[in-house]
Structure 1
């Protein structure tokens, strides 16, 4: 007489060691969840300025020609600073008619032209001189600077490392309060350690705005004080700890 032994399931064949891990801690391996945060203040690496070149004329063609000439003068001035200018971009361009307020019908009184430029500089010594020279051009306004960091700045990585160290320190303190110690890292979640590149708010001392004709003498360079940047980092971390001594 023979008896058949029913086949064991894969989990039974694998033994107790193959049991799925508990989603939460156990009395033998409690879990600790913490958040690590870091905040660093660092010097800026770049500065951005916005340039607006304007022109006006009694007809569309003259306004466009005047705007083209002034835009070229601004571009040549910015390019003359060579490697000090990391990026130069042309933004919005417009030619807008201005209607006369008197008389019947729609009569164009004058045409207004406008073009926007953006320059990014890493040489802050050249920045002060370029800002005032641009502001000294006819019908040209300058806004800025807006200080910031490059996307690949080492400051971002340093903030993330400090946030991780803070998480480990905090978890170790919690474990120590229970008479336990850290056993293993279970999870490390990045909450977005990058600081907003959106350039920081402009420093009051670094704002230049001017309109009108150029003076005979060269305008003095502005003494601009860089605005320090704050870099943030946050991480969530979960650890297992040894059984606490309660």
Structure 2
């Protein structure tokens, strides 16, 4: 049991920091009456995307292929297949933002390729999170001292510190480009990295000396 007065405060901080990662998706598509033709074209277009991403190293931090789809198009009146469709999507993570716009344009200029993004974010282990937590603790201590000073007291010890969670609030933008073929002129693209909001909060309880109540 604690003897003496206690002050309970909440320390909180909001910050905007520069993003560290940019993600976008590249989706290659194909359509034909023959399934084999769709598979061949899809493999060819996916390979062309891979070549461009290989050339973009080391700006590309990682890439992940997912959502491979091949499906038939049928008539409403029955199950007769009139065409085959295929798509394969790749998620690309970039750390060098100076190369991001050019890379997205080159990918979007490929035949039957759609590019969507970017989505800005921080790394999971970003120093911004640690700095926000430290700032929240400092804010809690400053608040406790202010309340103690108003009572003619001073903070003597920390009793409890609880983390209310650190919540990154990513801001994003989306630009989508779909190429109709190599002859299409690529659009001009200017990307401004969007700041990321970071919020940290703690609950703290401190003991203080006896107030001077005049």
Whole-angstrom distance in 2 between the partners of 1:177 and 1:151: 40
1:189 aligned residue (162, 176, 180): 162
Q: Is the 8 A contact 1:132 1:208 kept in 2?
A: no
Whole-angstrom distance in 1 between the partners of 2:110 and 2:168: 35
2:201 aligned residue (219, 234, 240): 234
How far the C-alpha of 1:178 sits from its partner, in A, is 1.0
Q: 1:71: which partner in 2?
A: 46
How far the C-alpha of 1:216 sits from its partner, in A, is 6.8
- Higher relative contact order structure (alpha carbons within 8 Å, sequence separation ≥ 6): 2
Q: 1:178: which partner in 2?
A: 151
Whole-angstrom distance in 2 between the partners of 1:193 and 1:105: 54
> Would you say how many aligned residue pairs link Structure 1 and Structure 2?
213
How far the C-alpha of 1:221 sits from its partner, in A, is 5.7
Q: Is the 8 A contact 2:21 2:120 kept in 1?
A: yes
How far the C-alpha of 1:89 sits from its partner, in A, is 0.2
Q: 1:211: which partner in 2?
A: 179
Q: 1:148: which partner in 2?
A: 121
Residues 114, 216 of structure 1: alpha-carbon distance in 2 compared, 3 angstrom cutoff: closer
Indicate yes or no: 2:96 matched with 1:129. no
**Displacement over 4 Å in runs of 4+:** none
Q: Is the 8 A contact 1:53 1:115 kept in 2?
A: yes
Q: 1:106: which partner in 2?
A: 79
Q: 2:17: which partner in 1?
A: 42
List per-residue Cα deviations over 1:8-45 (Å, max 9, x = no partner): xxxxxxxxxxxxxx2xx54xx21111110001111111
Q: Is the 8 A contact 1:159 1:232 kept in 2?
A: yes
What secondary structure does 1:232 align onto?
Answer: strand
RMSD: 1.6
Larger radius of gyration between Structure 1 and Structure 2: 1
Whole-angstrom distance in 1 between the partners of 2:69 and 2:99: 30
Name the TM-score, length of structure 1 as normaliser: 0.82
Structure 1 unaligned spans of 5+? 1-21
Structure 2 unaligned spans of 5+? none
Q: Is the 8 A contact 2:171 2:195 kept in 1?
A: no
Which structure's residues are more often strand, by fraction? 2
List per-residue Cα deviations over 1:152-173 (Å, max 9, x = no partner): 1111111111111110011111
Q: Is the 8 A contact 1:37 1:233 kept in 2?
A: yes
How far the C-alpha of 1:194 sits from its partner, in A, is 4.5
How far the C-alpha of 1:215 sits from its partner, in A, is 2.2
